[in-house]
Structure 1
Amino acid sequence: MASEAQDKKRLIREIRTVLRQEQVLLRRQPWGAEAGRIIERFSTGGKLWRGSLLIRAHRWYCGDAETAVYPLAAATEIMHAGLLIHDDIMDRDDKRRCRPAIHRELSIMGEAKRLRDCPHFGLSLAICLADLCFFLAQGIIAKISPDTARQKRLARITTEEYSQVILAQMSDVELGATRARVCPAQITRLYLYKTARYTFSLPLMLGALLAGQPDKELKQLGRFGAYLGLVFQLKDDDLGLFGQESQTGKPAGSDIRAGKQTLLRSYLTRQATPRVRARLETIFGNRDASPDDIILVKQLAEKYSARADIKKLMTAYSKKAGAMIPSLAISARYHWAMRRLIQDNLVRRR
């Protein structure tokens, strides 16, 4: 059986292969070759979590991965690349993975060419580049299976899940701009559709679909993945404040400066005194919040047990995922791998 490291190496090769197969299409336009190079580098430079999970899920049901699973896994990573590019633009994040975000990289490229209005140039080209990721990924997905019925199911599931991601992103933008207090249920729903299902449920369901599993099993697997995905987002929130930039790739406190509505923020503001709450409101959403401001939020999150409460919630979701394992149509010999996935998700540092 292939190891996770071997799966990732093969996934990187597959991403490069499917993109190079599109070179004839890309090279019809002056920007095609450069766009292809940027997409290849960006889509292979992350954790490759979603594509690797898709391959693993397929193996849990089949015992080995069939050829079609690799292009599908590559497509999920290319789609993810496009979503990240758009996400950094909307969040006004200039760093990703310890280097300039794509829109900032393209802006710098514009400066080197002595173009006018380089920030707008970078944003505009990044939007186009992300759109290109979406179309290339959909093109790959459309060619995955010669089985018409299976291909229709594949198209239906990917369309439904990615559409929910975009609608959740719209909610994220609105919640980040609102002056009203946001309740935990709203934030949890946002987490579910913006991150949880797209990061875990979708890859798991696609791997199972290619393995010939029925919709009933996919629905159960989607629930299992949703619990893991909620933990993933909660852990991201924690790392975004308490993690090391060298590991997360983004400055600590970037979500605070962006005014993101997170459960950590919700718990903290609800548990703090009115005076402390008023001080926090001057920090959240303040693009000029100082490093000392971020340190203060960290201290208060510990003092008022907001961080501890989030950890308890992550543990609860992880236990719910673990309790579902026996109900899935997966051989018991893979249960240890599923439990390790739950644990790795809970303790990751990047």
Structure 2
Amino acid sequence: MGDPDVGVDVTAVFDARLTEILAHRRGRSQAFSAPYAQLWDALERMALGGKKVRPRLLLNAHTALGGTDERAAVDAACAIELLHVALVIHDDVIDRDLVRRGEMNITGRFASEALLRGAPRRAAHAWGESSSLLAGDLMLTLAHSVLARLDVDERRRQAALEIFDETVFESAAGEHHDVWLSMHLESATSDDVLAMVDQKTAAYSFQAPLTLAAVLAGAPPVLVAELAVIARRIGVIYQLRDDVLGVFGDERETGKSTSSDLREGKETLLVSYARSDAAWATVAPYFGDDEMSASEGESLRRVIEESGALLFVESLISDRCDEVHRLIRESQLPAPMAEQLVDLVSTCRTRTS
């Protein structure tokens, strides 16, 4: 998924700490095989890149909620970023992607190197995917390890670990549901798609960073619960906008082809709604076709729009934003946190990349 702009840049303290954590593991890898060390080199490059959206959410929220334990917040932010890397790596394997952020991902890099060294294509790809699966596992375990070692009282550490455990559990459920929907073995309702989005995106990208920040800041349970509900709602808004941009966005701004989701057969709310239109049958063969042409993609987009799907999703985004604003107004959140959330809703609603 794309990333919203959520405020200040990641602190130098966070960058230094994440670098320290990764360098330690990379150093340990030197005692093993050369390919294993190369795997950690690739993981370090990947984890230190990106926009660090989730760590920023966590660190900004921790400050807004009056948190004072910067070290604990920074370590939690590192864990959230490592979890993100793990899920992205596994997601690429599931989607059979070879590219991430405009360059070869771990599967692509390791498979390409094996091909250059004379490995058969099938074996090279298996090597690349195996490397990715192990890399994702390593990041997931490292994220858990960082949280388990938080230098905080036992109550907060256990609460943080419970959030992490539930986040991974839900994210896996969402990913599994997404794969099932993409097989198109049965009709997906709007509720099916929204449930998948809530589990796959909202849980780890919004709820986890914000509730971890609240727990570490010592916020009372009622406030943590309010923040969790609001975060989930914002996550769904974010993903609905992402799906619209994936089909109707400006490729120069999004950096992503408006045909890729259609070629992959991604079951979004747009598609779920458009399926009920009689014209869908005329373009259904193009959906999920790796060889879909530009003109066929344009036909799909036209049917989706003319079915009313785009208007429906835009209307739903607007309604969800109104709902979140109401929840923020009625909450007991301190003003700085409420203001951050209002800004975040606006960004998720109007973003173009």
TM-score (norm: length of structure 2): 0.91
Q: Which stretch shows the higher mean deviation, 104-113 or 189-198? A: 104-113
Q: Which runs of 5+ in 1 are unaligned?
A: none
Per-residue deviation, 1:331? 2.4
CA displacement at 1:63 relative to structure 2 = 6.1
Superposition misfits of 4+ residues, deviation over 6 angstroms: none
- Alpha-carbon separation, structure 1, partners of 2:142 and 2:255: 26
The question of 1:162 aligning with 2:168 is answered: yes
Q: How many Å apart are 1:246 and its aligned residue?
A: 4.8
Which of 236, 259, 269 is 2:242 aligned to?
236
2:63 aligned with 1:52:
no
Equivalent pair of 2:178/2:196 in contact (CA under 8 Å)? yes
CA drift at 1:9:
5.0
Question: What is the deviation of 1:62?
Answer: 0.9
Distance 1:28 1:319, change over 3 A: farther
How far did residue 81 of structure 1 move? 0.8
Matches of 2:98 and 2:9, distance apart in 1: 32
Q: Structure 1 residues 323, 282: closer, same or farther in 2, change over 3 A?
A: same
1:329 shift after superposition: 3.6
Aligned pair partner of 2:110 in 68, 87, 106 = 106
* From 267, 279, 282, the counterpart of 2:282: 279
Residue 310 of structure 1 deviates from its aligned partner by 0.8
Hey, what does 1:294 align to over in structure 2? Answer: 297
For residues 222-244 of structure 1, the C-alpha deviation after alignment (integer angstroms, 9 at most, x for no partner) is 11001110011111111211234
Q: Verify: 1:40 aligned to 2:55, yes or no.
A: no
Mark the CA change 1:332 to 1:42 in structure 2 (over 3 Å): closer, same or farther.
same
- Superposition pairs of residues 177-256 of structure 1, within 5 angstroms: 177-256=183-262
Q: Deviations over 1:321-343 (max 9, x none)?
A: 11122343432244333211111
Matched-pair contact (CA < 8 Å) for 1:96–1:249: no
For 1:263, the equivalent position in structure 2 comes to 269
Percent of pairs with identical residues: 27
CA distance in 2, matches of 1:134, 1:176: 25
Distance (Å, rounded) in 2 between the aligned partners of 1:132 and 1:93 = 20
CA contact (8 A) 2:287 2:300 kept: no
**Residue deviations 1:135-160 (CA, integer Å, cap 9, x gap):** 11111111113311111111111101
Distance in structure 2 (CA, Å) of the matches to 1:143 and 1:245: 42
TM-score, scaled relative to structure 1: 0.92
Corresponding position of 1:325: 328
Match of 2:10, SS?
helix
Structure having greater relative contact order (Cα 8 Å, sep ≥ 6): 2
The 2-side partners of 1:260 and 1:95 are apart by 17
Provide the C-alpha distance between the structure 2 equivalents of 1:309 and 1:70, rounded to a whole number of angstroms: 40
**Is 2:67–2:218's contact at 8 Å kept on the other side of the alignment?**
no
What displacement does 1:280 show?
2.7
The alpha-carbon deviation at position 346 of structure 1 amounts to 1.1
- Deviation per CA, 1:264-309: give whole Å up to 9, x if none: 1011122x22xx2212320222121112222222222222221121
2: CA distance, partners of 1:29 / 1:23 = 11
